[in-house]
Amino acid sequence: MKKLLLIGCLILITACQSADSTPASESTPTATLLPTPVPATATPTFPPAPTDTPIPAPPPFFFTEEFDTPSTFWQFFQTGGTDAPLTTFENGQLRVDIPSADTWHLGIHNAHSYANVFVRAKISASASGSVGLVCRYNETEGWFEFNIASDGSYSALLGQWLAPGIAKYIPLATNGSNLVNVGNINSEIGLSCKDNFMNLYVNETLLRRLDITNYGLTEGNIGITAASYKESPMIVFFEWVKVSEE
């Protein structure tokens, strides 16, 4: 009887062990699919477009330069002298400082070329040189000048470049006049180049009329001049320059 009971228990234990030994089925893990990240779209950056410097429009063919603002149409040259003149636009005037003796300063307005033209200027200068006007300036052929000096004299010249910074001057006329004040220069001067004649004016009065037929200059730019003599420094002010017909 005990054997039967023992055998029954063994069978029961074996059955229990068999049941327990069966591995529990593992649940299959479910993969969680994360959304594919969309790359952020960066705002493209571009280098700034180059800004072209505006080219100033030239003045009218006939005009008045009052020197209120600097102008790119003036081009300045020096001949002679040990130090370079300083040109500045200030207080509605063009100021020329010439620091050394025997220095010639030439300013050419290159916006237009003229055959017949009347150039006037209101000027003041210290008593140590001359100031003047230019017509029919041509870099290769030459130019005409009219100058008045602080010693009471005036001159008409034919200028020509021999090399950069080196010019020669041929006198066309030179004299003294009571129309040209002695000492500090404070005058209105005028230069007319029309056909075959050059007319020189001081304070709206005709000073001299010259025949320029034989010099071959028929057209060119207008300009201004200032020169120191033995004394220096010299300071010149151009209050305005007017370019007109006769």
In this prediction, residue 29 has a pLDDT band, given cuts at 50, 70 and 90, of very low
Question: Which of 40-44, 54-58, 136-140 has the weakest average pLDDT?
Answer: 40-44
Question: Which of 33-42, 127-136, 177-186, 230-239 has the weakest average pLDDT?
Answer: 33-42
Residue 99 has pLDDT above 70, yes or no: yes
Q: What sign has the CA pseudo-torsion 162, 165, 171, 173?
A: positive
Return the pLDDT at 128: 87
Return the pLDDT at 53: 61
Mean per-residue pLDDT, 184-189: 94
Residue 173 has pLDDT above 80, yes or no: yes
E strands along the chain, which residues? Answer: 63-65, 74-80, 86-90, 93-98, 103-114, 117-125, 129-138, 142-149, 153-163, 166-176, 185-194, 197-202, 205-211, 220-228, 234-244
CB atoms within 10 A of CB 179: 17
Return the pLDDT at 56: 81
Residue 18 has pLDDT above 90, yes or no: no
CB atoms within 10 A of CB 79: 20
Residue 230 has pLDDT above 50, yes or no: yes
Q: What sign has the CA pseudo-torsion 228, 234, 238, 239?
A: negative
Mean per-residue pLDDT, 188-209: 97
- pLDDT: which is higher, 28 or 62: 62
**Mean of per-residue pLDDT scores for the chain:** 85
Return the pLDDT at 197: 97
Mean per-residue pLDDT, 140-162: 97
In this prediction, residue 51 has a pLDDT band, given cuts at 50, 70 and 90, of low
**Tokens of residue 103, six digits:** 């220095």
Domains and CATH numbers, the chain: 63-244 (2.60.120.560)
Residue 22 has pLDDT above 70, yes or no: no
Return the pLDDT at 44: 54
Return the pLDDT at 232: 86
Return the pLDDT at 132: 98
